[in-house]
Amino acid sequence: MSQRPLKVGLVGGGGGAFIAHPHQRAIHFDGTRRVVCAALHPDPAVAMREAENWPYPIHGYKSYNEMVEAEAKKPAGERIDYALIVTPNHVHFDPAKKLLAAGIPVMCEKPLTITVEEADELVRLVHEKNVPFCTAHTYIGHWTTRLARFIVHSGLLGEIRWVDAYYLQGWLFDRAEDKGVLQAEWRVDPKRAGASGCGGDIGTHALMQLRYCTGLEIRRLSAHLETFLPNRHLDDHFTVYAELSNGGRALVRASQIHVGHKNDCRIEIVGARGSLRWAQEEAEKVTIHLPGMPDLVYWRGCVVPNDGILKEVPAELLAEITLPSGHVEAHHDAFARLHRSFEADVRAYQEGKPANGAGLKYANVEDGRMGVYFISKAVESSRKGGTWVDM
């Protein structure tokens, strides 16, 4: 790789936004990327004030339109190398579209857009412009998620019969949106969050874990989107029963009223010869259950290829370890792995070489579109009383 650090521009992230902060730490993680500019807020005055008070020096723009226009005019090497969109859901599509049109690679928070039409348009633009695009599904950045994918694809578990993928939280058990909690306010607003609250926000993560680890797609689904708090306009409890592309079955679940759960993203994959469990809150390990054997726990950094169970573990996968075993990797490391993988494709794009990480090392624009389609079909099914709907 070139020694020149990639220049990154932020769209969103001011006004107390949470998700920009783990992203920016991940961007600076390796010393090969750095945030240089930002359009931090829809109010131009606030955007400039926040840029002036940012923890480290950045160039502030009054709006993302100003940022895209100014950066697009700069010669290669001086403009931003990619942009990170960390706005509420309804402000994903327009900046992404304009950045792609300017030939600037994009990493965008999930869900990709709030309508299938917008998602289709971004897919079209990415293919037309051949520009790298990442949908920021954090949890596939965990090394153990990648190990789980290898285990399933190796055939160790046999044909997949059943998957339970879920993400449970409890922080919206009461009306936090009425208490000045900004992160709650926009997530329960259909105009800003889209047609699904809980499902769009964290159910899409559960879906991505299912698709990434198994390689299977959802063929049809029956959904129930429920709202337990009076006068809340979007679902806070989300349940989808699905038929998979291989004929297996799955549950994709999410809840934000599940008191006692913080960020409990998990997946259990049941095959004809064994099963696998992974939990985000215990992200250092993957557990395998095989008939007639003690439970097998594989820890990040302690995987030995050809140990009699795991065979032909790719050297590339083993080389991704960033910390010695026992020094715990966590949330920021997962974000950093996404940015590191995306960086490699951005550099390849700049050199006119083929990219090879999209869909394998990070979620791409098609993955983002699948999440939007999934939410659309779940909403349709739920409105029809849980009737089966084809994807």
Do 6-139+334-364 and 143-324+372-383 share a fold?
no
Classify residue 354 by burial, with Cβ atoms within 10 Å: 0-12, 13-18, 19+.
exposed
Does domain 6-139+334-364 fall into CATH 3.40.50.300?
A: no
* Domain ranges for the chain: 6-139+334-364, 143-324+372-383
d(CA 371, CA 211): 10
Going by pLDDT thresholds of 50, 70 and 90, the confidence category of residue 127 is: very high
Residue of 85, 111, 88 whose CA lies nearest to 96: 85
Please check whether residue 169 is in contact with residue 262, taking contact to mean a CB–CB distance below 8 angstroms: yes
d(CA 221, CA 307): 39
The predicted model scores a pTM of 0.96
Going by pLDDT thresholds of 50, 70 and 90, the confidence category of residue 3 is: confident
pLDDT at residue number 305: 86
Reported as a single tens digit per residue, the pLDDT across 72-100 is 999 988 999 999 999 999 999 999 999 99
SS3 percent helix, strand, coil of the chain, rounded to 5, is: 35, 20, 40
Average pLDDT rounded to a whole number, residues 222-226:
98
- Determine phi and psi for 85, rounding to 5 degrees: -100, 115
Does domain 143-324+372-383 fall into CATH 3.30.360.10?
A: yes
Three-class SS state of 7? strand
Average pLDDT rounded to a whole number, residues 37-51:
97
d(CA 329, CA 236): 30
pLDDT at residue number 2: 55
